Amino acid sequence: MSSSGTSIKKIMIKTAGITILFIALFLAANKFLCTHPGSPPEIIDVTSIKILDLNPDSLKLLVTVLAVNKNNYDININRLNLKLIIEGDTLGKAESNEYVEIAPEDTVCFSFNADLNTMKSVRLGSGINDSVEIRLLGGAVANLGLISLPVDIDINYKLNFKEKIREVIENDTEANEVIKIKAARFKPIKLNESAIEVDFTINNPYGIDFVLEGYPSAISINGSIAGTGNLDGAVNVFKKGSVSNGTAQYVLSNTGTVASLIKSFLKKELVYETNGTLQIDILGYKVNLPYSFKGELIKL
């Protein structure tokens, strides 16, 4: 056989092999599509939105959603891209390339970060209920094995700004990241009347100024109520990185209390504890949260 005939035969064999492979792949894909028609997962609800950080330009959010997989096999979601819309105005966005796996016929909650314009959002949410309706509009991509399908997302969530800001400050305060007690001591006010004065500092972990307007509270010493008090004056706390000083003063309830405390100084330490409400003005919201602290009185 001539060399040209051999070459033609080789080409025909190679072409036949490619054709058979193509047909096999087509039949496999067709079988998969017929037996596993597949449907994209549905993002059916926003379970929570938390504020992670307060800044003058944008609020850093953690959004958690609920997704359902109606197929009888695993699927993955990724390439999430959303707009955050308030009253028809796009005020934020969310993007995530992380893979989220959902088991067959199961649901899963997953979280992603988002940014929201601070001042515009807060202004829209400063109505009677301190809440705003956020629309999350966009999509993601679902991997169903041999094919990928788009995932349409269009869900709403009512966000109460005042409550979410209060949660942020309360968590940071409980973690001792905001207020630090310096010292507490007796202070004579006038004849037969004394007070306990507590000095403290306030660290601002946020990128936004706020005002500590008051701390109406009661003070107990060695377990017994000794008096009530408040701040000497409002404390302006400037944006992240600044430290401000403040003082709270507690007038002791009677002369008997004063005499008893002074006598106790000679015998044992005096442990005090305050319980009251922090009154904070931040982003135009009046936020109140319970707060207490304890320490040891300085000896006379």
Percent of residues, the chain, with pLDDT higher than 70: 81
CA distance 40 to 5: 53
For the stretch 266-277, what's the b/e string if a residue is b when 16 or more beta carbons lie within 10 angstroms of its beta carbon?
Answer: eeeebebebebe
Between strands 217-221 and 224-231, the pairing is: antiparallel
Which pLDDT score is estimated for 138? 97
Strands 42-54 and 271-282: unpaired
3-state secondary structure of 124: helix
C-alpha separations of 298 from 180, 226, 274 in Å: 16, 16, 16
DSSP 264-298: HHTTS--EEEEEEEEEEEETTEEEEEEEEEEEEPP
Segment 235-269, tens digit of pLDDT? 999 988 788 999 999 998 765 566 566 566 556 67
Question: In Å, how far are 31, 79, 262 from 138, measured between CA atoms?
Answer: 32, 11, 68
Asked if residues 178 and 201 have their Cβ atoms less than 8 Å apart, the reply is no
The number of angstroms, rounded, from the C-alpha of 177 to the middle of its chain's C-alpha atoms is 16
Using one digit for the tens of pLDDT, what is the confidence trace for 217-234? Answer: 999 988 888 889 999 999
Task: Give residue 284's Cα distance to chain centre.
Answer: 19
Q: Which residues contact 236 (CB under 8 A, 6 or more apart)?
A: 209, 211, 244
What is the per-residue pLDDT for 9? Answer: 55
Q: Profile the chain (300 residues) by mean pLDDT over runs of 10 residues.
A: 55 59 53 57 94 91 96 92 95 94 94 94 78 94 87 95 91 89 83 84 91 95 88 91 90 67 64 94 91 81
Query: What is the bridge-based pairing of β-strands 179-190 and 224-231?
Result: unpaired
The two tokens of residue 39 are 């449907």
Rounded CA separation 32/101 (Å): 20
Q: Can you give the pLDDT at residue 151?
A: 94
Predicted confidence at residue 145, as pLDDT, reads 75
Tokens 């800001």 belong to residue: 165
The whole-number pLDDT of residue 64 equals 97
Would you state the pLDDT for residue 18? 63
